[in-house]
């Protein structure tokens, strides 16, 4: 793992419940290079991911979302 950490926020298009967001978070955490994934019930359409950009790209997260049947957009900060 490198010394680089990037953060990205995803906006989830679908309405999800708490358990669906937790399952998505767990799926993201299983990806190589993902150090943290955080979602809150107060903002159910957002998930913040901390990752190593040398191991995984932000576009990989969109592919993972599509594989779970959800859709999202990257939000730049």
Q: Where are the domains of the chain?
A: 6-75
pLDDT average, residue stretch 4-12: 93
pTM: 0.89
Q: Is the pLDDT of residue 1 over 60?
A: no
Query: Is residue 21 a contact partner of residue 56, using CB atoms and an 8 Å limit?
Result: no
Selection from 54, 17, 51 nearest residue 64 by Cα:
51
Name the band, by pLDDT with cuts 50, 70 and 90, for residue 4.
confident
pLDDT digits (tens, 9 = 90+) for 12-62: 999 999 999 999 999 999 999 999 999 999 999 999 999 999 999 999 999
Sign of CA dihedral 19, 20, 24, 30: positive
- Write out the CATH class of domain 6-75: alpha beta
Residue 3: the pLDDT is: 79
d(CA 59, CA 63): 6
């Amino acid at each position: 793992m490198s010394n680089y950490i990037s953060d990205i926020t995803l906006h989830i298009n679908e309405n999800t419940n708490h358990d669906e967001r937790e399952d998505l978070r767990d799926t993201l955490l299983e990806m190589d290079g993902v150090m943290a994934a955080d979602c809150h019930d107060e903002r159910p359409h957002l998930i913040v991911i901390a990752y190593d950009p040398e191991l995984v790209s932000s576009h990989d997260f969109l592919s993972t979302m599509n594989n779970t049947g959800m859709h999202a957009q990257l939000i730049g900060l």
